[in-house]
Amino acid sequence: MPSARLFNPKPRRINRNHISRYEIISSLVILFLLTCIVLWAITRRNHYDPAQQDVSIETLEQVSSSIVLYKRPLKPWQSPDEAVSLQDLDLGIFPVSVISDQWRPKSRARTFDPENLYVKINGEAERFLRHGFKQLSYLVLQSTNEIEEISIELYNQTSIAGSSGIFAEHRSPESQIEQEGPNTFFETSIGIIGRKDHFFYRIAGNRSSESIRNKSRQLVQSFSELPAPESAVAMGYQLLQELNIETADIRHQAVNVFQYDFAEDFWFGKPDSTRQAEVFVHRAESKDNALQLLSRILEEHQYEYQMIRETENLALLQHNFLKTYFIIAIQDSFVFGADQTEDQDTSFQLLEMIGRALPNETQR
């Protein structure tokens, strides 16, 4: 292939060979003007006279008296002799004790259902719906000085499984979990996140202050008055409580258990809050379904775990890199075990502890 020249072989041609006197004079004039401007700016830098540059105070006072920057919105008129009774306030499901002399509702309580939840928390709605969301009650409290506000989101997740599941997704290993009566919660920089029975709540102030922290604590006490769940307590939750596992260390995972899309509806609990090991339990539809689930979990685990011991109803594995142990077994229709244990002895101890607590009959 012949080489092609990249540059134009023709030399440049000068089209003009004369500059007019007019262009020369105009260029000199522009250069002179620019020089004068620069010299003027340099000589004036230390000769600032506010009387010549600023608007006088008298003029500012005249202008400011005629301009209104903010108009306070109108409020419903009320006779000063009439006091607003708590019964006249529409609080919805919220207990009356959420109101105090220093904190009053800014507006009536609003509710959202599964059809319009996205209007309030667009982007998060699917997460709550996945955990059995039923209704959101939303209320904003305002301080008497109208400076501080607290927004309250109270979610009815239908069951303890739903509230504990969504609570587990909000907490982090650094969260300081507290238990106060039926409430399990942790503090944030501007409020509190917690749960009570089938309710999950988020309390958030418009800033970080001592008054907002105190009010958030008082709201947690008020939530103790919320109605009890209509449905029976889940078997997995009761079982882990019988094993003396703290309520704050019990969680429910509805889907994607062990990051497998086929594993659903598992209960987890930490027998020792200071360690990472967790026990888990799941009740399948039948023993055959339990065997199928066990087989699929072991099949997926083989990519990251080494099989240590295996029988028809039990398997003990060790993680290839973390060197922690995973033990799983079935008993009737129950799938149960322990994850992230430190040694084999602890794995079998936890497995035996759960096995003894399981009911003898598998009838629902």
Tell which of 174, 206, 225 closes a domain: 225
Q: How many domains does the chain have?
A: 2
One domain, residues 185 and 255: no
Rounded distance between C-alpha atoms, residue 25 and residue 29, angstroms: 6
Q: Is residue 53 assigned to a domain?
A: no
Average pLDDT estimate for 250-279: 90
One domain, residues 93 and 118: yes
One domain, residues 218 and 293: no
| CATH code: domain of residue 138 | 3.40.1000
Taking only the tens place, the pLDDT of each residue in 284-322 is 999 999 999 999 999 999 999 999 999 888 999 999 999
Look at residue 308 in the predicted model and tell me its pLDDT.
93
One domain, residues 242 and 290: yes
Look at residue 91 in the predicted model and tell me its pLDDT.
84
Look at residue 101 in the predicted model and tell me its pLDDT.
85
One domain, residues 197 and 256: no
Look at residue 349 in the predicted model and tell me its pLDDT.
93
Where residue 234 falls among pLDDT bands split at 50, 70, 90? confident
Tell which of 225, 255, 290 closes a domain: 225
pLDDT at 324 over 70: yes
Taking only the tens place, the pLDDT of each residue in 67-103 is 666 777 776 665 554 444 545 567 888 988 898 888 9
Look at residue 327 in the predicted model and tell me its pLDDT.
95
The domain in which residue 194 lies consists of 86-225
One domain, residues 239 and 219: no
Residues in the chain: 364
One domain, residues 203 and 249: no
Where residue 58 falls among pLDDT bands split at 50, 70, 90? confident
Q: Is residue 57 assigned to a domain?
A: no
Taking only the tens place, the pLDDT of each residue in 118-175 is 988 888 888 899 888 999 999 999 988 888 999 999 999 988 888 998 998 898 888 8
Average pLDDT estimate for 26-43: 90
SS (H, E, C) the chain: CCCCCCCCCCCCCCCCCCCCHHHHHHHHHHHHHHHHHHHHHHHHCCCCCHHHHCCCHHHHHHHHCCCCCCCCCCCCCCCCCCCCCHHHCCCCCCCHHHCCCCEEECCCCEEECCCCHHHHHCCCHHHHHHCCCCEEEEEEEEECCCCCEEEEEEEECCCHHHHHHHHHHHCCCCCCCEEECCEEEEECCCEEEEEECCEEEEEEECCCCHHHHHHHHHHHHHHHHCCCCCCCCCHHHHHHHHCCCCHHHEEEECCCHHHCCCCCCEEEECCCCCCCCEEEEEECCCHHHHHHHHHHHHHHHCCCEEEEEECCCEEEEEECCCCCEEEEEEECCEEEEEEEECCHHHHHHHHHHHHHHCCCCCCC
If we measure between CA atoms, which residue out of 312, 359, 323, 317 comes closest to residue 338? 317
One domain, residues 256 and 353: yes
Kindly state the tokens that stand for 344: 């084999």
What is the phi/psi pair of residue 135, to 5°?
A: -160, 145
One domain, residues 318 and 273: yes
Tell which of 198, 225, 252 closes a domain: 225
- What angle, rounded to 10 degrees, do the helices at 344-357 and 235-242 form? 120
Share of the chain above pLDDT 70, in %: 84
Q: Which residues fall within 8 angstroms of residue 187, CB to CB, at 6 or more apart?
A: 176, 178, 213, 216
Q: Is residue 66 assigned to a domain?
A: no
One domain, residues 128 and 221: yes
Kindly state the tokens that stand for 254: 């509805």
Look at residue 231 in the predicted model and tell me its pLDDT.
66
Measured CA to CA in angstroms, residue 228 lies from 18, 63, 196, 233, 248 at distances of: 98, 62, 9, 10, 18
pLDDT at 325 over 70: yes
Q: Is residue 347 assigned to a domain?
A: yes
Which residue has better confidence, 112 or 12? 112
Look at residue 76 in the predicted model and tell me its pLDDT.
61
pLDDT at 348 over 70: yes
One domain, residues 90 and 220: yes
Q: Is residue 4 assigned to a domain?
A: no
Measured CA to CA in angstroms, residue 93 lies from 89, 118, 153, 154, 212 at distances of: 12, 21, 12, 9, 22
Average pLDDT estimate for 221-232: 82
Encode 289-304: b = buried (16+ Cβ within 10 Å), e = exposed: ebbebbeebbeebeee
Give the type of residue at 106.
K
- How many Å is the Cα radius of gyration of the chain? 35
Where residue 362 falls among pLDDT bands split at 50, 70, 90? very low
Q: Is residue 239 assigned to a domain?
A: yes
Look at residue 294 in the predicted model and tell me its pLDDT.
94
Q: Is residue 17 assigned to a domain?
A: no
pLDDT at 6 over 70: no
Where residue 280 falls among pLDDT bands split at 50, 70, 90? very high
One domain, residues 208 and 334: no
